[in-house]
Amino acid sequence: MSGLRVVPAFRHGRERLYVCREDGSNIAWYDRETGRVNLLGEDSRDEVLHALKPFLTGPVTVGPPPVPTPAELARLTLRPDDDLAPNRPGEALLVALDRDPGPGHRLRPDPRRRALTAEQTVGETLDGLEGAGWHTLHSLPLPGGDRIHHLVIGPGGLYAVHALYARKSRVLVADPMVTLGRREPQPLLRRLRADADRASYALTAEVRPLLALVGPSEVTVTARPRGVRIMTDTELTGLSRLGGVLKPADVEALHGMARDRNTWGRV
């Protein structure tokens, strides 16, 4: 066999190097993170390893692709339109701004853009937890036009995360009210608990609400809110230290269920 090409690609945040024939068909791939070369045919072993030789780092294992788990098989059966995993942080806002950017000159900043900044900031941090065994889904639609900004699933359980732009503002939390600077208080924690309850119903698992404050100058909590965790965007990495709630298989199964759009149509 000759003329093999090595093509890099990214899947679910991981880099893979695909080995392709001249006609573009894949015969193997190398996963850098796991150090494994997956062969689709044992007869091409020597040629594949020769093509990958400049890219291999450290010891590698070579063999057929691992048998997919039930959760992976469920994901493979999802129609692309029903798979919410590709959603970007702030997906709904990005679509809305693309459809209606608003006037070019405004006396005040478009609040949608501040909200988008908050979701993107929080989403980027949560995506960084993947290496610690966590999965994050963004902008999950709920019936009635509501949505969950981020759903985090990992060893420490499930969290429905609401991102709130609070840059250089003082934040006062007096359950259920949240006050930003001199603005009118809003019963935000009541909404967060309701969204988490809907997610719990959809997934038949406990989902806890989490308020993520982006860039506040000061946070004052008058009393510990009932069932709601409050963190700043810089504290979210602390979730990676939580554990003892879900096993890896449970995390994968819940992630597979949560990424299916049809799961959320019944709440």
To the nearest whole percent, how much of the chain has pLDDT over 70?
93
What pLDDT score was predicted for residue 1? Answer: 46
CB atoms within 10 A of CB 94: 17
Looking at the domain assignment, is residue 72 inside a domain?
no
Q: What is the mean pLDDT of residues 188-195?
A: 96
Closest CA to 12 of 84, 75, 79, 85: 85
Q: Mean pLDDT for the chain?
A: 89
pLDDT in tens, 57-112: 888 999 888 776 666 666 667 788 899 999 999 999 999 998 988 776 666 788 99
State whether 130 and 159 are in the same domain: yes
* Same domain (yes/no): 221, 94: yes
Q: pLDDT tens digit string along 116-163?
A: 999 999 999 999 999 899 999 999 999 988 999 999 999 999 999 999
Helix/strand/coil percentages in the chain, nearest 5: 35, 30, 35
**Are 134 and 188 in a shared domain?**
yes
Amino acid 68: pLDDT: 67
Give the residue numbers spanning the domain of 91.
83-264
CATH number for position 103: 3.40.1350
**179 and 250, same structural domain?**
yes
- Asked if residue 110 and residue 49 are part of one domain, the reply reads no
3-state secondary structure of 43: helix
pLDDT of 166 strictly over 90: yes
Residue 200 and residue 140 share a domain: yes
Distance CA(163)–CA(166), nearest Å, equals 9
Residue 134 forms part of a structural domain:
yes
Mark whether 123 and 186 lie in a shared domain. Answer: yes
